[in-house]
Structure 1
Amino acid sequence: MKKGRDLELLHPGDVVAGRFHIIEPIGAGVIGQVFTADDELSDRLAAVKVLRHRFLEMPRLEAYGSALPIAPILRREARLLKRLEHHGICQFLDAGEINGCPWLATEFVGRKFFADLRPPLQPQQALRLVAGLLEPLTYLHSMGFVHRDISPGNLGLRDDRSLVIIDFGLAQPMGRVGLATVERFMGTRLFSPPECHSTTAFETILMPSADVFSTARVLEWLVTGDGMRVSYDEPVTDLPEMLANIIHQATSISPEARPQSIRELLVACQLALG
């Protein structure tokens, strides 16, 4: 494993924590670069996330890898995933630090994601896919957390076509939360609820309705594709009227105006489609 001020923290052939043999980079999330790795302990593939290069050395930061306030976000993600145990949430394997930079290892869920689908899909087909969010998000909310970044790139599909949520870097406890300035500029803007990236408030009240908003936007994307609204004030068009009205309500700028749970949203959508 290369040390010091190298261009990247991990390279193919490196071994992390004596068990994860790095294979290749496979992409990047909000704050991290992700590699596949052979896990000696479980004898299966893992995904190892480290801070992306642009966060390793930031102007006016004294220590290599300090990367404040980014490094604490990855550490927070590791602590949360260690607490969670659900088939619809990527499984925590291990976490630690390299030269002061945190890393996180989870199960490798595969290379198929909602982002690889080719919308528009038929409403019933889209709803069946989104229905896979019911159990994992209900579980996450019961644990007192909001994901904050439900989007096609963070929704994987296992070989059995079941859904799995990845990338919990922006997840936060429910309730009144003071979001760091940098976190207000993170997330997938087309799918992120407005209260999560407002620049006018020092605090945000996070509730399940934040993930309801994002789930409705994923559903809207699946059934409209490139025709998805950019402005939430615009009407939802070219869909069955009842479904369009539900999506419009669920993506209201006001969190109180939305369905207050994922179950409430999905039941309403199913009733709308008969």
Structure 2
Amino acid sequence: MSVLGGSWKPPTEVDEFRLVRLLGRGGMGAVYLAHDTSLDRLVALKLSVALQPDTSTLESFAVEARAIARIKHPNVVTVFRAGEVQGRPYLVYEYVDGKSLAELRLPLPWRYVLDIAVGLSRGLRAAHQRGVLHRDLKPGNAILDADGTLKLLDFGLAAFVGADRLMPRAMPGVVGTPRYLAPELWSGAEATPQSDLYALGLLLYELCTGGLPRTPGPLSRMPVAMESLGWCGALVERVPGIDPEFAQAIERCLAEDPQQRFTRAEALCGVLERLGVPGADPAFAAARSGHEARPWGARNML
């Protein structure tokens, strides 16, 4: 084991994975492009590089591995393996050649956002059906691969519901990115499918408009009640030509009262899938061609 710049430097080879180059580094660790020598393919390998990994980091790796492994859906990044090197956990994922939603130029044409929304809702539906709450939905945790398929990433803050909620233990307390937290979470309420849907609504609102609803008070990034925003029809006014049903679906996700949101991701997914076939409109195809994917920054997995 060696130290480089105040962090742990992994060996060149981690089991059958040969590290090629560093792709990104974040709070939970680092992601490397690696060559899987046993199957001759490129993968993304995520591991902790802190000198002394704390308990929350170790728990995050365990939670993420269990969460993604149980979902197994085209709209969720695939985890191939979980292992350990020199006492440190690592995860091996499919290498996604694309770009995160955080890298797109906003605002996007609403038809393009609808296509993204379908992929996001399908991935979230699959997670919820398997008893997994994401708890950190944001643009940096979703990626479009080279063929336009949307994939959800980073389940390190996930929580488990139903019979699986005690194993492994999810991080307690208010977790996630403050900018995308549902209002009830600030009051100490537990995460629910509705709080994931709120974050999804904010993400879609941002993609359509280029920004988030105005936010007041000390928690300057916490969205306020819909009534104080004069919410009715606001998205239709901000995004000319948007399908009113699509705008209504986004606004329903953003209801301050969780009971007024969709009860589950499956219901939202059904609405979005009914609104139209992605790419059927020539304007959609033209818009999409202006946002072609490029190799992604693996910091989005951190």
The one of 86, 94, 97 equivalent to 2:73 is 86
- Residue 64 of structure 2 corresponds to residue 77 of structure 1: yes
Q: Measure, in 2, the Cα distance between the counterparts of 1:139 and 1:179.
A: 19
From 177, 180, 194, the counterpart of 1:191: 180
Counterpart of 1:45?
A: 42
Once the two structures are superposed, residues 110-162 of structure 1 have per-residue CA deviations (whole angstroms, 9 ceiling, x without a partner) of 24111111111222221111111232221111111111112111111111101
CA drift at 1:245: 4.7
Task: Give the match for residue 19 of structure 2.
Answer: 22
Paired AA for residue 38 in structure 1: H
Q: What is the match of residue 61 of structure 1? A: none
Pick from 224, 247, 260 the counterpart of residue 232 of structure 1. Answer: 224
Give the TM-score taking structure 2 as reference length: 0.73
- Select which of 205, 214, 220 maps to 2:199: 214
SS in 1 for 2:121: helix
Cross-structure match for 1:253? 256
Select the residue among 77, 84, 109 that pairs with 1:97: 84
Following TM superposition, by how much is the alpha carbon of 1:41 offset from its aligned partner in structure 2, in angstroms? 2.1
> Cα RMSD over matched residues?
3.0
Query: For residue 135 of structure 1, what is the amino acid of its counterpart?
Result: R
Residue 34 (str. 1) matches residue 37 (str. 2)? no
1:174: Cα distance to partner? 2.2
Which whole-Å CA distance do the structure 2 matches of 1:165 and 1:82 have between them? 13
Question: Could you tell me which amino acid in structure 2 is paired with residue 251 of structure 1?
Answer: L
Kept in 2, the 8 Å contact 1:110–1:156? The answer is: no
**Residues in 2 aligned to 1:270 and 1:229: alpha-carbon distance in whole angstroms:** 29
1 CA distance for matches of 2:224 and 2:250? 10
CA distance in 1, matches of 2:29, 2:273: 36
How much has 1:269 moved relative to structure 2?
5.9
Unaligned runs of 5+ in 1: 58-64
In 2, are the aligned partners of 1:30 and 1:169 still within 8 Å (CA)?
Answer: no
Q: Which residue of structure 2 lines up, in the alignment, with residue 138 of structure 1? A: 125
Task: Give the CA deviation at 1:35.
Answer: 1.4
Kindly indicate whether the alpha-carbon contact (under 8 Å) linking 2:79 and 2:93 is maintained by their aligned counterparts in 1: yes
Are the structure 2 counterparts of residues 224 and 253 from structure 1 closer, same or farther at C-alpha, using a change threshold of 3 Å? same
Q: What's the CA shift for 1:3? A: 4.0
Deviation, structure 1 residue 227: 5.5
TM-score by length of 1: 0.79
Where structure 2 has 5 or more consecutive residues not aligned to the other structure, the ranges are 216-222, 277-302
How far apart, in 2, do the equivalents of 1:30 and 1:6 lie? Answer: 15
- Per-residue deviation at 1:77? 1.2
Match of 2:160 in 1: 173
Q: Residue 117 of structure 2 aligns to which amino acid in structure 1? A: V
AA aligned to 1:79 is R
Aligned to 2:265: 262
- Which residue among 64, 80, 95 is the counterpart of 1:108? 95
Asked if the contact 1:232–1:251 (Cα under 8 Å) also holds between the matched residues in 2, the reply is no
Letter in 2 for 1:104: L
CA distance in structure 2 between the partners assigned to 1:141 and 1:269 by the alignment: 17
